[in-house]
Amino acid sequence: MNHPMTDSDLVTDLLRRDDFTREHLITVQCIRFTGNVHIGWFLALIVLHYTYARIGENDLKEVAGKYWVGKTRQAWTEDSRLSVYRFRKAIKTLQDHGLVEVTVLKLAFGKQIYVRMDQTLIDKILLDAAKLLALWESEEYINGKRYQ
Protein backbone atom coordinates (compact mmCIF):
# COMPACT_ATOMS: atom_id res chain seq x y z
CA MET A 1 0.00 0.00 0.00
CA ASN A 2 1.41 3.40 -0.96
CA HIS A 3 1.02 6.17 1.58
CA PRO A 4 0.96 9.83 0.57
CA MET A 5 3.05 10.50 3.71
CA THR A 6 6.68 9.53 4.16
CA ASP A 7 7.64 6.94 6.77
CA SER A 8 8.90 9.73 9.01
CA ASP A 9 5.60 11.59 8.66
CA LEU A 10 3.65 8.45 9.56
CA VAL A 11 5.68 7.90 12.75
CA THR A 12 5.40 11.58 13.69
CA ASP A 13 1.63 11.34 13.25
CA LEU A 14 1.53 8.26 15.49
CA LEU A 15 3.57 9.98 18.21
CA ARG A 16 1.20 12.97 18.18
CA ARG A 17 -1.85 10.79 18.82
CA ASP A 18 -3.52 10.41 22.19
CA ASP A 19 -1.99 7.92 24.64
CA PHE A 20 -4.72 5.30 24.17
CA THR A 21 -4.38 5.19 20.37
CA ARG A 22 -0.59 5.18 20.46
CA GLU A 23 -0.40 2.48 23.16
CA HIS A 24 -3.04 0.32 21.47
CA LEU A 25 -1.34 0.36 18.08
CA ILE A 26 2.14 -0.29 19.49
CA THR A 27 0.80 -3.15 21.63
CA VAL A 28 -1.03 -4.73 18.69
CA GLN A 29 2.10 -4.48 16.57
CA CYS A 30 4.32 -6.00 19.28
CA ILE A 31 1.93 -8.92 19.76
CA ARG A 32 1.86 -9.49 15.99
CA PHE A 33 5.66 -9.23 15.86
CA THR A 34 6.26 -11.80 18.62
CA GLY A 35 3.28 -14.04 17.89
CA ASN A 36 2.60 -14.32 21.63
CA VAL A 37 0.30 -12.17 23.75
CA HIS A 38 2.37 -12.15 26.95
CA ILE A 39 5.73 -11.64 25.24
CA GLY A 40 4.26 -9.03 22.88
CA TRP A 41 2.63 -7.25 25.81
CA PHE A 42 5.96 -7.07 27.63
CA LEU A 43 7.81 -5.95 24.48
CA ALA A 44 5.20 -3.20 24.03
CA LEU A 45 5.84 -2.01 27.59
CA ILE A 46 9.54 -1.62 26.77
CA VAL A 47 8.85 0.09 23.42
CA LEU A 48 6.43 2.47 25.15
CA HIS A 49 9.11 3.47 27.68
CA TYR A 50 11.40 4.41 24.80
CA THR A 51 8.54 6.13 22.97
CA TYR A 52 7.59 8.26 25.97
CA ALA A 53 11.25 9.17 26.45
CA ARG A 54 11.34 10.22 22.78
CA ILE A 55 8.44 12.62 23.28
CA GLY A 56 9.86 13.88 26.58
CA GLU A 57 7.44 12.27 29.03
CA ASN A 58 9.92 10.06 30.92
CA ASP A 59 13.61 9.45 31.32
CA LEU A 60 15.77 6.47 30.55
CA LYS A 61 18.96 5.55 32.39
CA GLU A 62 22.07 6.30 30.34
CA VAL A 63 25.01 3.93 30.82
CA ALA A 64 28.05 4.13 28.52
CA GLY A 65 26.07 5.98 25.86
CA LYS A 66 23.23 3.44 25.81
CA TYR A 67 19.75 4.00 27.17
CA TRP A 68 18.12 1.47 29.50
CA VAL A 69 14.75 0.98 31.21
CA GLY A 70 15.39 -0.11 34.79
CA LYS A 71 12.98 -1.37 37.45
CA THR A 72 12.78 -3.89 40.23
CA ARG A 73 11.19 -7.23 39.37
CA GLN A 74 8.17 -6.23 41.42
CA ALA A 75 7.80 -2.97 39.49
CA TRP A 76 8.13 -4.79 36.14
CA THR A 77 5.44 -7.30 37.11
CA GLU A 78 3.15 -4.60 38.49
CA ASP A 79 3.50 -2.44 35.38
CA SER A 80 3.07 -5.33 32.97
CA ARG A 81 0.42 -7.16 35.05
CA LEU A 82 2.31 -10.37 34.24
CA SER A 83 2.99 -13.02 36.84
CA VAL A 84 6.61 -13.47 37.89
CA TYR A 85 6.71 -16.68 35.79
CA ARG A 86 5.35 -14.96 32.66
CA PHE A 87 7.65 -11.97 33.22
CA ARG A 88 10.71 -14.24 33.45
CA LYS A 89 9.61 -16.21 30.40
CA ALA A 90 8.95 -13.03 28.37
CA ILE A 91 12.25 -11.39 29.23
CA LYS A 92 14.20 -14.62 28.59
CA THR A 93 12.48 -15.21 25.23
CA LEU A 94 13.13 -11.64 24.08
CA GLN A 95 16.74 -11.91 25.22
CA ASP A 96 17.24 -15.35 23.58
CA HIS A 97 15.98 -13.93 20.27
CA GLY A 98 18.32 -10.95 20.50
CA LEU A 99 15.50 -8.43 20.77
CA VAL A 100 16.63 -6.99 24.10
CA GLU A 101 19.74 -6.80 26.25
CA VAL A 102 19.28 -7.40 29.96
CA THR A 103 21.52 -6.61 32.90
CA VAL A 104 20.87 -6.81 36.63
CA LEU A 105 22.42 -4.31 39.01
CA LYS A 106 22.47 -4.66 42.78
CA LEU A 107 21.80 -1.26 44.28
CA ALA A 108 21.38 -0.10 47.87
CA PHE A 109 17.60 -0.55 47.67
CA GLY A 110 17.71 -3.93 45.90
CA LYS A 111 18.19 -5.47 42.47
CA GLN A 112 17.23 -3.50 39.39
CA ILE A 113 16.59 -5.25 36.09
CA TYR A 114 17.69 -3.06 33.20
CA VAL A 115 16.41 -3.75 29.69
CA ARG A 116 17.69 -2.17 26.49
CA MET A 117 16.40 -2.33 22.92
CA ASP A 118 18.12 -1.43 19.70
CA GLN A 119 16.74 1.83 18.30
CA THR A 120 16.42 0.25 14.83
CA LEU A 121 13.95 -2.33 16.16
CA ILE A 122 11.99 0.34 18.04
CA ASP A 123 11.80 2.41 14.84
CA LYS A 124 10.59 -0.63 12.88
CA ILE A 125 7.84 -1.35 15.40
CA LEU A 126 6.78 2.32 15.44
CA LEU A 127 6.70 2.46 11.64
CA ASP A 128 4.67 -0.76 11.42
CA ALA A 129 2.23 0.62 14.01
CA ALA A 130 1.98 3.91 12.08
CA LYS A 131 1.27 2.03 8.84
CA LEU A 132 -1.41 0.03 10.66
CA LEU A 133 -2.99 3.30 11.78
CA ALA A 134 -2.87 4.65 8.21
CA LEU A 135 -4.53 1.46 6.97
CA TRP A 136 -7.26 1.61 9.62
CA GLU A 137 -7.96 5.24 8.74
CA SER A 138 -7.93 4.68 4.98
CA GLU A 139 -11.17 5.24 3.09
CA GLU A 140 -11.06 1.74 1.57
CA TYR A 141 -10.79 0.15 5.01
CA ILE A 142 -13.52 2.32 6.56
CA ASN A 143 -15.95 1.72 3.68
CA GLY A 144 -15.23 -2.01 3.53
CA LYS A 145 -13.92 -1.86 -0.06
CA ARG A 146 -10.67 -3.47 1.04
CA TYR A 147 -12.49 -6.80 1.48
CA GLN A 148 -14.62 -6.83 -1.65
Looking at residue 4, the DSSP 8-state letter turns out to be S
Give all strands (DSSP E) within 40-147, no chain letters: 61-63, 66-71, 101-107, 110-116
Give the residue-averaged pLDDT of 17-43: 94
**What does the pLDDT read at residue 57?**
76
Distance between CA atoms of residues 22 and 18, nearest Å: 6
CB-count burial class (<10 Å; 0-12, 13-18, 19+) for 126: buried
Which phi and psi (to 5°) does residue 58 adopt?
A: -160, 170
Higher per-residue confidence, 140 vs 87: 87
129, 43 contact by CB (below 8 A): no
**pLDDT band per the 50, 70, 90 thresholds, residue 50:** very high
Looking at residue 55, the DSSP 8-state letter turns out to be T
Distance between CA atoms of residues 51 and 15, nearest Å: 8
**pLDDT band per the 50, 70, 90 thresholds, residue 65:** confident
Per-residue pLDDT tens for 80-136?
999 999 999 999 999 999 999 999 988 777 788 999 999 999 999 999 999 998 888
